[in-house]
Structure 1
Amino acid sequence: MTASTQTAEPRTDRRLTPATQNVALESLRGVLNRPVYTAGRPARLQVALADLCREPGGARDRQVNHGAELTVIEERDGWSFVQAVADGYCGWLRDNALGSAVQPVTHRVSAPATHVYPQPSIKTTELGGLSIGARLSVVAWQDGFAQLAQGGWVPRQHLSDQPASDPASVAETLIGTPYLWGGNSRWGIDCSGLAQASLTACAIACPGDSDMQQAAFPVVEGEIRRNDLLFWPGHVAIALDATRMIHATAWTMSVVIEPIAAAITRIDAAGQGPFLGARRPPAGADAVFP
């Protein structure tokens, strides 16, 4: 790390800027003025789920799932400021949530959620749970279970080493999941978290928040199709077809299917509109999997 001589300070999106007030990634030298620059340290999330907070102990912006690849930029008082490799999202999380990225990731959790067992048997007491999208290193197979380098055994039926093919179908497996602001898991999810989880399961790169998602994909010209993303100010849904959509909504505090026309009317009536139109993600995989 070396001291900075840069003085300019352009406006940046804090969610995607790998810099604190003290330290910035080396790639920002000459762009942001910071006392210290760093190449960053690679790490991998070793807990089931972690909040990405705006500051140490602060409000949650988003979450990252088990096995997420991260770049550590600053460490301070038991907290680490990190950037997620998959989508560039930045935030603070607890140091003890981090582990080393030693074993290659081989599979993802493809079920809405799964249990981790101490032995390859459903009759043993589970060690904990993992959500859809968790990235795992499988080292052996026995009796219908995958042995994890991270420790424990997971049912084979809940894992995949190949991406899903239909984001809307992935989203439908999460119907009934409770709404959680900034949530990215089966335990709680918000509108943009549902869109990201569904697209990511199909190896389609997707940003973390709805405004980023709206900016990332081309505008739909013509009729809405399955897997189009539908946008309102601060909200996103996934089209199931030309007339129905699925979304995580505070209206029901859950993931639900709703007619598109009814949602437009309801959201307008609540003063949360207008409908901003549809965007179309790519139809095929464009990101690394698993």
Structure 2
Amino acid sequence: MTARDARLHAFRSDLADARLKGEVAADRFVAGRPARISASVADVRKAPRTDAGVNTQLLFGDDILVFEHTEGWAWIQAERDGYVGYVADTVLGARDHAPTHMVTAPRTFLYPGPDLRFPVSGQLSMGSAVTVTGSAETRGTHYALLPSGQAIIAGHLRPVGEVAADYVSVAESFLGTPYLWGGASGFGIDCSGLVQLAMRMAGKNVLRDSDMQAATIGEPLDPGPDFAGLGRSDLVFWKGHVAIMIDAETMIHANGHTMLVSREGFKDAVARIDYLYGGPTGFRRP
């Protein structure tokens, strides 16, 4: 049997994805059932328990495959990045409408109708996929209407397929967002989640965890002995951490030092991190 990363392939000793038959050992193989995330943000946990750690998060409109559904939990795989884990079954919805737009603001509100004075009925993160069925204007503000009857600010959306020109600028729009281990949304995000979401908005789907990103994004880069070769958009990796270069001297990252997405001088960060985790382990140019 071929070794597989359990974060990216759905297999356990008792159950596995039917596509892995002949590659992994399991008592039973099943085909994944298509579903879609219907909650604003869905925690993907290591085990089907509320006290299990959160590995990542999925966003409203993300398509998934469900391999098992039992006792309030679903064992799933995200179709966008292949991540496997457990979500509460309350976040599962049907793929009953084809998404037409994506949220581009870091965070936005849902209203029960097209009026910003109405009490908020929900909130969505950048990267959420929605289906727009109509439009309305109230006191000069334009709204997109959703199948649920809710409304969202039209200027916070763009059509599916339109992408940002610069993923670093997308990352900079998250400045001040709280750091959250396993976070992957505008409400809380971690270092590799910031890289993944910013790149996704620029039309490039990448893997979720920093070790995966260090092995797969772009090409390896040798910045030279004084890091003089670094430039905007380059990625810097430490053990368990990643940052995005804004320019040759400054980086942006979601970090546990400030507990925010923040800018930091690159050489200052190298010195600060060194005594805890050592120096950078690699560099990539997307």
Q: Aligning the two structures, in what range does the TM-score lie when normalised by the shorter sequence?
A: over 0.9
Q: Deviations over 1:203-251 (max 9, x none)?
A: 1111111000001121024422211111000000111111111000000
- Counterpart amino acid of residue 172 in structure 1: E
Aligned to 2:150: 152
Distance in 1 (alpha carbons) for counterparts of 2:11 and 2:114: 43
Per the alignment, in what secondary structure is the counterpart of residue 133 of structure 2? Answer: strand
Distance in 2 (alpha carbons) for counterparts of 1:243 and 1:116: 39
Distance in 1 (alpha carbons) for counterparts of 2:15 and 2:110: 37
TM-score (norm 1): 0.91
- Whether the 8 Å contact between 1:74 and 1:81 is mirrored in structure 2 is yes
Per the alignment, in what secondary structure is the counterpart of residue 14 of structure 1? Answer: coil
Aligned to 1:135: 129
**Which contiguous aligned blocks of 4+ residues in structure 1 show a shift greater than 3 angstroms?**
none
Aligned to 1:233: 239
Distance in 2 (alpha carbons) for counterparts of 1:81 and 1:150: 27
- Counterpart amino acid of residue 189 in structure 1: I
Q: Is 2:39 the partner of 1:50?
A: no
- Whether the 8 Å contact between 1:140 and 1:147 is mirrored in structure 2 is yes
- Whether the 8 Å contact between 2:196 and 2:207 is mirrored in structure 1 is yes
> Percent same amino acid among aligned pairs?
39
Q: CA RMSD in A?
A: 1.2
- Whether the 8 Å contact between 1:20 and 1:74 is mirrored in structure 2 is no
Q: How far apart are residue 277 of structure 1 and its match?
A: 2.9
Matches within 5 A, 1:218-257: 218-222=219-223, 223-257=229-263
Q: Is 2:20 the partner of 1:20?
A: no
- Whether the 8 Å contact between 2:214 and 2:282 is mirrored in structure 1 is no
Q: How far apart are residue 30 of structure 1 and its match?
A: 0.6
Q: Deviations over 1:85-126 (max 9, x none)?
A: 110000000111011112111111100100000000101111
Distance in 2 (alpha carbons) for counterparts of 1:277 and 1:266: 17
Aligned to 1:77: 71
- Counterpart amino acid of residue 260 in structure 2: S
Aligned to 1:3: none
Distance in 1 (alpha carbons) for counterparts of 2:60 and 2:212: 23
Gaps of 5+ in 2: 224-228
Gaps of 5+ in 1: 1-7, 282-290
Q: How far apart are residue 151 of structure 1 and its match?
A: 4.2
Q: Deviations over 1:43-68 (max 9, x none)?
A: 10000001100110121111111110
Structure 1 277/61 Cα, relative in aligned 2: closer, same or farther at 3 Å?
A: same
- Whether the 8 Å contact between 1:136 and 1:150 is mirrored in structure 2 is no
- Whether the 8 Å contact between 2:113 and 2:149 is mirrored in structure 1 is no
Q: How far apart are residue 11 of structure 1 and its match?
A: 3.6
- Whether the 8 Å contact between 2:66 and 2:75 is mirrored in structure 1 is yes
Structure 1 29/99 Cα, relative in aligned 2: closer, same or farther at 3 Å?
A: same
- Counterpart amino acid of residue 239 in structure 2: P
Q: How far apart are residue 19 of structure 1 and its match?
A: 2.0
Distance in 2 (alpha carbons) for counterparts of 1:89 and 1:150: 28
Distance in 1 (alpha carbons) for counterparts of 2:240 and 2:86: 23
- Whether the 8 Å contact between 1:115 and 1:154 is mirrored in structure 2 is yes
Distance in 2 (alpha carbons) for counterparts of 1:54 and 1:174: 26
Aligned to 2:226: none
Distance in 2 (alpha carbons) for counterparts of 1:221 and 1:163: 29
